[in-house]
Structure 1
Amino acid sequence: MAEIFATLADVLGRYPAEATVLAADETTRQRDDARIEAALVDASAEIRVSLYGRYTRAELERIDDDSRGFLRVYAIDIALYRVALSFGRSNERIKERHDLALSRLKDIASGKGALSFDGPGGGGTGGGTLPGEPNDVGPAEPLVVAPERVFTRDRLRGL
């Protein structure tokens, strides 16, 4: 099963009052935890789909705690917006957080930002340039692999 970037406990830890108000059932006035959890699953899927343009599934499984923390915040903001819309309780603050999360994900996917990983590599490089070679290239660094130059200053001096 694919990773869920945030849990109900994460939402309640970050925005307890907001989650209760936004997800309160109209008739019982009780928080609808199932709807929040479903929105978190949807938000996590949206995050993965946004990042697949740059990162592989295996790379997303290796993100470090810093990147996981940022994706958790984005998942919460996206999920709360979805919950607010489903209950007709959206407001400008929630929409702004949602839009900012989507904007940051778009920036990361386009290379204007990057995730960090546990272990070597990341960003679609898929390992070292030669078999068995470690990869110390960061996710936003270009990697050029080419044959050795034929015409160099040293080789052309005697001509």
Structure 2
Amino acid sequence: MAERRAPFVTLAEIQARHPRELAVLAADETTRQVDPVRVEAACADVSSEIRAILAARYTGEDLDRLDAESRSVLRLYAIDMALYRVALSFGRQTEAIQVRYATAVKRLEGIAAGRGALNFEGGSASAPAGEPTTSGSPNEVVIDAPERLFTRRRFGGAG
């Protein structure tokens, strides 16, 4: 059985960031209380969706090694996406929620396409065995070259 990865967002994190919106969108029809089962299911679904989008560029192991800042960015996207899914499950979707969801997905697709990057703890993403790791992010240009032999200064030009 596949290992269950940690979600990018939890009910508590959504509650802390958008308590009023969550109370309106996720209130059970009979109890009028936030339905934690539906919200946690939405969090798990959104985390799977984010991993699927980012799989074009990052492995699951890479995403498990995200630094705090990159994890925070993905949490923001996950919150908007989870609120959209919760709203759908309760039939309370609004245009604003739909736009926030679409924006989050578009930004994730941009990261997956290389128009943005995530940073990792302990070096770059998926460095091949034997290759040195860097403290930067994927697609960062790292040059290790010998000093130039032919320069203007060596040929008597302005330097």
Same fold per TM (> 0.5)? yes
Q: Give 1:75 shift.
A: 1.0
The CA distance in 2 between the partners of 1:57 and 1:73, in whole Å, is 19
1:48 counterpart = 2:48: no
Match of 1:89 among 85, 92, 114: 92
Query: How far does residue 31 in structure 1 lie from its aligned partner after superposition?
Result: 1.4
Q: Distance in 2 between matches of 1:25 and 1:120?
A: 44
SS at match of 2:53: helix
| Structure 2 residue corresponding to 1:23, chosen from 26, 35, 50 | 26
Identify the residue that residue 138 of structure 2 maps to in structure 1.
Answer: 139
Report how far residue 142 of structure 1 moved.
5.8
Give how far 1:42 is off: 0.3
| 1:22 and 1:87 in contact (8 A); partners too | yes
CA distance in 2, matches of 1:44, 1:10: 14
* Mapped partners of 1:143, 1:51: distance in 2: 23
Q: Which amino acid aligns with 2:140?
A: E
> TM-score w.r.t. structure 2 length?
0.81
Gaps of 5+ in 2: 144-149, 151-159
Q: Cα RMSD (Å) of the superposition?
A: 1.9
CA contact (8 A) 2:120 2:137 kept: no
Contact conserved, 1:5 with 1:44, CA < 8 A, in 2?
yes
* 1:53–1:109 contact (8 Å) kept in structure 2: yes
Q: How does 1:1-159 map to 2 (within 5 A)?
A: 1-122=4-125, 124=126, 126-127=127-128, 131=130, 133-136=131-134, 138-141=137-140
Is the 2:118–2:137 Cα contact (8 Å) retained in structure 1? no
- Identity among equivalent pairs (%): 51
Residues in 1 aligned to 2:44 and 2:8: alpha-carbon distance in whole angstroms: 8
- For residues 51 and 137 of structure 2, the distance between their equivalents in structure 1, rounded to whole angstroms, comes to 20
Native 8 Å contact 1:121 1:127 kept in 2: no
SS for the counterpart of 1:45 is helix
Q: How many residues align?
A: 140
- Per the TM alignment, residue 135 of structure 1 is displaced from its structure 2 partner at its CA by 2.4
